[in-house]
Every structure is written in C-alpha cells, then in structure tokens.
Amino acid sequence: MKRTVLATLAFATGLVISVCHAADATTAWHDQRFNADVGGVVSRSDIVLKHANLRADEAMPLGNGRLGLAVWSQDGLTLQLNRADTLPGRLSPGQVVFAGLKPLAKASDYAGRLALHDGEFRESGAGMQAMVYVQPDTDVAVVEVHGADPNVRQSVLLHLWQPRKPQAMAQQGVAVLAETWKDDSEAGASGQTFGSLAAITAHARDVHAQVQGPQTVELSFKPEMDGSFRVLVAAPEWEGGDALRRAQPLLANAGRIPDAAHRDWWNAFWLRAGLMKLGSADGSAEYIENLRAIDLYATAAESRGPLPGSQAGIADLFASTRDQHRWAPSAYWHWNLRMQVAANLGAGLYELNAPYFNLYRSNLANIEAWTRAQMDGRPGACVPETMRFNGRGYENESWMGGPGINCSAKSLPYYNARTLSTGAEVSLWIWQQYLATQDRTFLAANYPVMAASARFLLAYARPGVDGLRHTFPSNAHETQWDVHDPTTDIAAMKAVFPVIIEAAQTLHTDAALVAELRGALPKIPAFPLQKSGDGSVIGPSYDAGAEIQNTENIGLEPVWPYALIDEDGPQHALGVHTYLQRPNKFENDWSYDPLQAARLGLADEVKTALLTLTGKYQQYPSGFAKFTGGEFYVEQIGVVAATLQDALVQDHDGLIRIAPAWPKGWNADATVYIKQSSKVDLQIRDGVPGTVVIEAGADGRMTVRNPWPGKSIEAVESGSGKRVAGADKQNVLSFDAQAGNAYLIQRVDQPSANLPYAAINGSAASEPKTLGTRHIGLP
C-alpha cells in the first residue's frame, strides 16, 4: 500500500502534570519517519581521552570484523594486530610501533577520541594529528599523520616476540613478518595449517624497508613536505606461500581505496542499527547508553568473519596482551555468546549473528560424529557447551593439567562433561533469528542443527517408572554435575520441542520427528522446586543436595533465555521469588540478572543490576569489563545491550509489550527490532511511554499489550489516520499489519495531533563519562 504523508504527528505522554508538563513533550515521528540525527546521537558515546592511553590495558578497539586492532600510545603509538583465524592459539600477527609519535603522546595539549560513528581513533597534540582506522573490505589498517617535521626521518617497527619464529622479509618499501604452523598438538586437533602475516608500507618520501632481526622489521621514511604521511598495515588470512607476493598487491590496492571508505561503511551501519538515546537526572542512563553503543560497535568490529570474533566472553580481536589467553583460545563457550546473539537481534543487526550460526552449522557433521563416539552411539548432536572451532568437545586449558571433555559419557565429572542443553539453545536462537527476519532460506540452512539436537535429546531422555522422560546423568550447566533432570534440560525441551515442530512444519519436512516430539512434550518433568525464604523457588535439578560447582542461577534459565516464565504467565510469582532468592546476586561479568529481571517486569531490579554489575566489572576505559587476568571482556556490555532492548520492548511470545521493565526516572528515544522484520519506535519520559509506533516489515497479526494500563488505547494507521483497532477486554490491542505501513499506538483521550514535532538530536561527547568510580575514557 502506498503511504501518504501526515504533516505533523504528535502524542501525549500519559504522564500527570506534576511529572511532565505538556509543554515539555514532543514527538520525533513525522513525515512517516522516526527522525533522529543518527551521527549526533551515536557520537554521544564517543570515548574521550584527556590524556594519552599509555598502558596496554587502556587500548582502544578498532576493526572490520576480521582484522582487529588494539591501539594505545606506548612508545608513541602501538597497534596490536589480531584475527580470529590464527588458530588454535589465536596468535597475534604482530605489533606495530610508531616511535615518531612520542611528542604527540607526551603533549600537554593531548586530546584523543574513539569516534564510534566513523569507526576511527583520532588524537592530537604538539601540533600533530594522527588517525587510525581499518578499511572495511581489505584487511588493512591505516595510520594517517599530519603535522610531522618533514625533515625528520620516521621509523615504524613491526615485531613479534619469543617463542614466535616468523620469516622476516623486506623488499621495495614493504616489510613483512609471516609464520605458519599446524593445529596438531592439542586434544581434538584438526591437522589444519594456520598462520599469520603482517606487512607494512608507507606513502611518504624515501621509503626504505629492512629486516632488523629474526622477529622485527623496520620501515623508515621522510614525511611529505607538508608534514603528512600514511602507513598501511596489512594482516590478511594466511596459510602459507609467498608472503611478499601476497602482501605487495594487497597494500597497493589498499592504497587506492578512498580515505572515507571506512566512514561510509560505519555511517551506513549506524543507520541500520536500532538507535537508542537515554537520559536521567543522575547521568546513569547516559552511561548505560554508552555501554550499549560500545557493544554494537565492538560486535561489528569483531564479528564479520566466518567465526565469532569473541570466545569465552573475551574481546580477542582487540587484545593488547600479545599471545596471552586465559581461556582455551581454540574453543568457544556458548554461555558467553548468547547475550551477544540476543543484543544483535534487538538492534536489527542480524548479519552480525552469521558467524555464530556458521560455527554450529558448518561443524554439524563433526558434532554428530563426536556424539556417536562420545555418547555411546546415540544419534543426533550433543553440541559441546565448550566446543573447539572444529566441532570437537575438548577444552584445552593450560591450567587444568589436561583437556576437559564436553558432551561425553566417557568423561569424568567435569564442568560441562554432560551439559546436554547447548544444542537446544542454539536451535532456539536459530528460530528467533528466523522469526525476526522471516528468512526461509536461513531457516532451511540451519534446520539440520535443530533436528539433530532434538534427536539427541529424545535419545538421551529415557522413560522412567512414572512415565516421564528423564535425563541422568546430566549437568545443570556448570553448577551441578551428574544430577537427575537439571532445570536446563527441562527448560530446553519444554521451549525447543515446540519450536522444532513448527520449524519442521514450516519447511514441510521430518513428519516422523514431529510426531515423536509431540509425544514427548507431555512427558517432560515439571521444574524442580525447593523451599527458600517464605516460598518455593526453581532449583538447579532434582538433586537438591548436589554439590554446587559454579556461581550460576540455573533456576532462572526458564525465564531467560528459554522464555517459559514471564510477567504475564501463570508462573510469574514463582519466577519472581526465584529471582529474589537467587543464590548468586550480581556475580560474574556475564551475570544475566538484569535480563532475567526485565523478563519478569522488575524495573527497579533492572536498574540496580545494570548499575551494580557495571560498577563491579567495567574497569577499562574502552568500556570493556575485567573478569580475570588482563584481557578485555565484552560479555558484560552484551548483557547491557540485550537488557535495555528487553526492558523497552518484548515480543518473545507474540505479545508486544511496551516498556515492560523500564526504570522510573529514565528517559528513552529508541528503536527496538521485533519479529516479522518489524520494529518499534518509542519515546519514554520518566519511565512512561509517549510516542509508540510499530513499523511493519511484513504482513501479519500484531498484538500489543496496553502501554498505559487503565486507559483506552487504539491503533491508527500512520499514513491515512485510519483507526484499525482498539483494545479488548483483556487490555490487548490486535490488528492486521501490512508490510511497509506504520501504526501509531496511542491513548484515545490523547490523540495524535497535540504534540509539537522535534527530531531526536545529539552532540559528540566532550568529556569522559563517569559512573561512581568507573569511567568510559580517560579523565
């Protein structure tokens, strides 16, 4: 349907006069658009440095999804190059040091900024300016410098360290370090050849490259007469061959790419992302907004390759610790990926989940072979919770004294030896991505993972004397080992069996599997209940006295991610009591406390959890968290991003809830993506919705819970002004949406022409942000 134009649309906020005066309220919905200065709003979250980031733990992140950088000002300017495919050790291609930038770093007038909207790091001081970025389509980083003395020769070093053994080469103004190795030394080794290659050249005068030693090459040159120079740093995928022949044309082609190409990519990225501008009197909402923007930026900068850029919750592509890794670098932890998948869905950045789905889809044959060998010949896929990049369930930790084995009936009891629910949860995320995108091709490609996961669970969950299907021995994730009927297994089967039935029917396949799943559904046990406080809570398993091995809140898994308990369902009170009595409050930087509070409609708990966890774990000026060791962790900001979206809009069960858990005193101008390729634009003041618009991306039924309880509401087609629905007796509004149309959800007593139009604006951060003792940036 062709859309017409409403000159001005406006909405009342629904707040009483004592809270928000009508004269203060505006709407950004105008001319069939939710109008915002995207660049201005995103730049509110720029990371501002008031002094040089001289330490490696103060490094700023850059990347194009395949090549990542850590950038800091040690020895002038240092870049560590990182990739996700230098397996199994995730070895760095090297560090690049610009000694000639020491005057800039030491300058009393130093100023630095990580500009998120443009994807670049800028710094200035002592009359010099430097800018660093990564080209979007080539694995080449660029360092542009202005204001250098044209008569002073510059030196740039590219180096590795012991025990690395690269081949060092220099020819025709290009210096290279290249190395290959085989994945053949740890349990589950693939036998594949991997490697690293780093190469540097300069656009300047009198460029000379030379080998300085077995692990170091040098580039020297004079700046152009105007004091400028440009250094290109390449670090492509590398499995061996002629390194110079690979590097020279790559650098030559990169030198011809327009300087603004990276900005064009990042500017377009932010136009696609669900925008979010937050505010509060105490500045806490702005701080949390900044963390969410950093999460989206970091994910785009690290996860556009074949495999996820982050493993074990660590920002591997932004590492500044050379080759040091606390957790097995060849393996992925699913528990530490799922918050990132959820955050990408709510932001409408579906393409950033592609590496996650590819990890499991491309390894399905290996996972099924692993299952047959390790799980007594059972069919299907027991997806290892901690899984090597090649689908084998080994966790090779240097501190463990031997590999941990996942999804194995043969293993001794261990954190994830018999964690059985991972494949089911991967299946759930496949279905959620399909519901969001309506991409049937995607569903067909990934459905085999769903079917294989179901077949394994059906084979493992054996009938008991009570007629129910039980899992034993099985882990309650990492919290209890080898117990009866863990809550994770029960929640996985209850949530995912119906999803797989629906997926199979959508694709017209697997009738026999559908019949078996239908027969199994009524035979899944109820959740195990335990007494706690003045009521019952969901326990980790039916073995209440089993030893506790980790600080996870397994009883809340049915709330999130499995969406079996929410604020509207019959088990809401049980879910709330389980939350309030949870054994581990604000433990670990990956804590799901705020997400689970959002699903239960606990707005005050959402705010408390977000701020408490940030105060405990966000210790780096980049916005990244510290958990253990010196690495950067991205899982905390992933939880922040996913929580904000769920607190603003939920539609996990087909009912669209507006501001179900939004903290009082927090304002929001935001877009959240929902199912059916659709999105919700909303503006909230002091915790109460004002503007609410649903932009339909596909034809389908929309069902919306009343955002203003007790008030009559209606849905109005934006273009025509036609009323399409009013709320029913259950305080729910339903209507048939058409793709391309927008629908205004509003109070009947405050129709749409009362508020003045004002676009959502923003201006670039000028100071680091502070929350208690925490900072984003360097004050």
pLDDT digits (tens, 9 = 90+) for 46-66: 999 999 999 999 999 999 999
pLDDT at 772 > cutoff 70: yes
User: What would the mean pLDDT of 638-666 be, rounded to a whole number?
Assistant: 97
Q: In whole angstroms, what is the distance from residue 335 CA to residue 264 CA? A: 34
Nearest to 30 by CA among 478, 615, 681, 638: 681
**Token pair 């950093």 is at which residue?**
294
In the numeric block, which tokens belong to residue 149? 């003395």
Q: In whole angstroms, what is the distance from residue 513 CA to residue 453 CA? A: 11
pLDDT at 415 > cutoff 90: yes
Task: Count CA within 13 A, CB hemisphere, residue 23.
Answer: 1
pLDDT at 4 > cutoff 70: no
What pLDDT was estimated at residue 728? 86
What pLDDT was estimated at residue 767? 98
Sort strands 94-98 and 33-34 into parallel, antiparallel or unpaired: unpaired
SS3 label, residue 334: helix
pLDDT at 150 > cutoff 80: yes
Q: In one letter, which amino acid is 752?
A: S
Q: In one letter, which amino acid is 445?
A: A
Q: In whole angstroms, what is the distance from residue 14 CA to residue 690 CA? A: 6
What pLDDT was estimated at residue 25? 82
Q: In whole angstroms, what is the distance from residue 252 CA to residue 202 CA? A: 10
- Name the band, by pLDDT with cuts 50, 70 and 90, for residue 400: confident
pLDDT at 668 > cutoff 60: yes
pLDDT at 6 > cutoff 60: no
Q: In whole angstroms, what is the distance from residue 428 CA to residue 311 CA? A: 20
Across the chain, mean pLDDT equals 95
Q: What angle do CA 387, 344, 420 make, to 5 degrees?
A: 30
Q: In whole angstroms, what is the distance from residue 82 CA to residue 535 CA? A: 51
Q: In whole angstroms, what is the distance from residue 437 CA to residue 675 CA? A: 7
pLDDT at 9 > cutoff 80: no
Sort strands 462-463 and 128-134 into parallel, antiparallel or unpaired: unpaired
Question: Taken in order 441, 344, 475, 188, is the CA torsion positive or negative?
Answer: positive
Q: What percent of the chain shows pLDDT beyond 70?
A: 97
Nearest to 429 by CA among 300, 339, 517, 518: 339
CA distances 142 to 154, 253, 302, Å, are 16, 13, 17
In the numeric block, which tokens belong to residue 224? 């152009």
Secondary structure string (H, E, C) spanning 274-331: CCEEEEECCCHHHHHHHHHHHHHHHHHHHCCCCCCCCECCECHHHCCCCCCCCCCCCE
pLDDT at 754 > cutoff 90: no
Let me know: does 256 contact 25? Beta carbons within 8 Å.
no
- Name the band, by pLDDT with cuts 50, 70 and 90, for residue 133: very high
Q: Containing H/E element for 169?
A: strand 167-171
CA distances 430 to 135, 353, 448, 516, Å, are 31, 10, 11, 21
pLDDT digits 0-9 by tens, 717-736:
998 999 999 988 889 999 99
pLDDT at 706 > cutoff 60: yes
pLDDT digits 0-9 by tens, 363-398:
999 999 999 999 999 999 999 999 999 999 999 998
- Residue 221: φ, ψ to 5°: -170, 165
Q: Containing H/E element for 230?
A: strand 229-234
Q: In one letter, which amino acid is 44?
A: R
Query: Could you give the residue ranges of the DSSP H alpha helices within 581-634?
Result: 593-599, 603-617
Task: Count CA within 13 A, CB hemisphere, residue 506.
Answer: 17
Q: In whole angstroms, what is the distance from residue 177 CA to residue 180 CA? A: 11
In the numeric block, which tokens belong to residue 614? 């940030």
What angle separates helix 284-302 from helix 603-617, to the nearest 10 degrees? 70
What pLDDT was estimated at residue 1? 32
User: What would the mean pLDDT of 114-118 be, rounded to a whole number?
Assistant: 98
pLDDT at 119 > cutoff 70: yes
CB atoms within 10 A of CB 440: 11
pLDDT at 402 > cutoff 90: no
**In Å, how far from its chain's centre is CA 777?**
21
SS3 label, residue 770: strand
User: What would the mean pLDDT of 736-750 be, rounded to a whole number?
Assistant: 94
pLDDT at 120 > cutoff 50: yes
**Token pair 């039916």 is at which residue?**
542
User: What would the mean pLDDT of 29-41 be, rounded to a whole number?
Assistant: 96
User: What would the mean pLDDT of 254-259 be, rounded to a whole number?
Assistant: 96
SS3 label, residue 458: helix
User: What would the mean pLDDT of 134-149 be, rounded to a whole number?
Assistant: 98
In the numeric block, which tokens belong to residue 779? 């004050």
Q: In whole angstroms, what is the distance from residue 97 CA to residue 722 CA? A: 63
Let me know: does 735 contact 707? Beta carbons within 8 Å.
no
Distance from first CA to last CA of the chain, Å, rounded? 53
- Name the band, by pLDDT with cuts 50, 70 and 90, for residue 575: very high
Q: In whole angstroms, what is the distance from residue 611 CA to residue 772 CA? A: 10
Say which DSSP state 521 is in. G
- Name the band, by pLDDT with cuts 50, 70 and 90, for residue 403: very high
What pLDDT was estimated at residue 7? 30
In the numeric block, which tokens belong to residue 606? 């959402």
Q: In whole angstroms, what is the distance from residue 118 CA to residue 129 CA? A: 16
- Name the band, by pLDDT with cuts 50, 70 and 90, for residue 16: very low
Q: In one letter, which amino acid is 131?
A: M
Q: In whole angstroms, what is the distance from residue 226 CA to residue 203 CA? A: 13
Integer Rg of the chain from CA: 27
Give every strand in the sheet of 276-280, ordered side by side.
Answer: 276-280, 666-674, 678-685, 688-695, 742-747, 713-717, 723-726
Q: In whole angstroms, what is the distance from residue 165 CA to residue 387 CA? A: 28
User: What would the mean pLDDT of 749-777 be, rounded to a whole number?
Assistant: 91
pLDDT at 15 > cutoff 60: no
pLDDT at 75 > cutoff 60: yes
In the numeric block, which tokens belong to residue 181? 């190795």
Residue 646, burial from CB neighbour count under 10 angstroms (0-12, 13-18, 19+): buried
Higher-pLDDT residue of 586, 727: 586
- Residue 361: φ, ψ to 5°: -65, -45
pLDDT at 314 > cutoff 70: yes
What pLDDT was estimated at residue 24? 67
pLDDT digits 0-9 by tens, 322-373:
999 999 999 999 999 999 999 999 999 999 999 999 999 999 999 999 999 9
Longest dimension (CA), the chain: 88
Q: In whole angstroms, what is the distance from residue 517 CA to residue 689 CA? A: 41
Say which DSSP state 336 is in. G
User: What would the mean pLDDT of 33-53 be, rounded to a whole number?
Assistant: 98
What pLDDT was estimated at residue 686? 86
Q: What angle do CA 215, 219, 224 make, to 5 degrees?
A: 165
pLDDT at 447 > cutoff 80: yes
Nearest to 359 by CA among 87, 625, 69: 87
pLDDT at 10 > cutoff 80: no
Let me know: does 640 contact 291? Beta carbons within 8 Å.
yes
Q: In whole angstroms, what is the distance from residue 707 CA to residue 680 CA? A: 13
CB atoms within 10 A of CB 21: 11
What pLDDT was estimated at residue 752? 61
Say which DSSP state 757 is in. B
Burial 88-109 (b: 16+ CB within 10 A, else e): bbbbbbbbbbbebbbebbebee
What pLDDT was estimated at residue 729? 82
Q: What percent of the chain shows pLDDT beyond 90?
A: 93
Say which DSSP state 412 is in. P
Pick the range with the lowest mean pLDDT from 2-16, 110-124, 689-703, 720-734: 2-16
Q: In whole angstroms, what is the distance from residue 100 CA to residue 149 CA? A: 10
- Name the band, by pLDDT with cuts 50, 70 and 90, for residue 687: confident
pLDDT at 298 > cutoff 50: yes
pTM score: 0.95
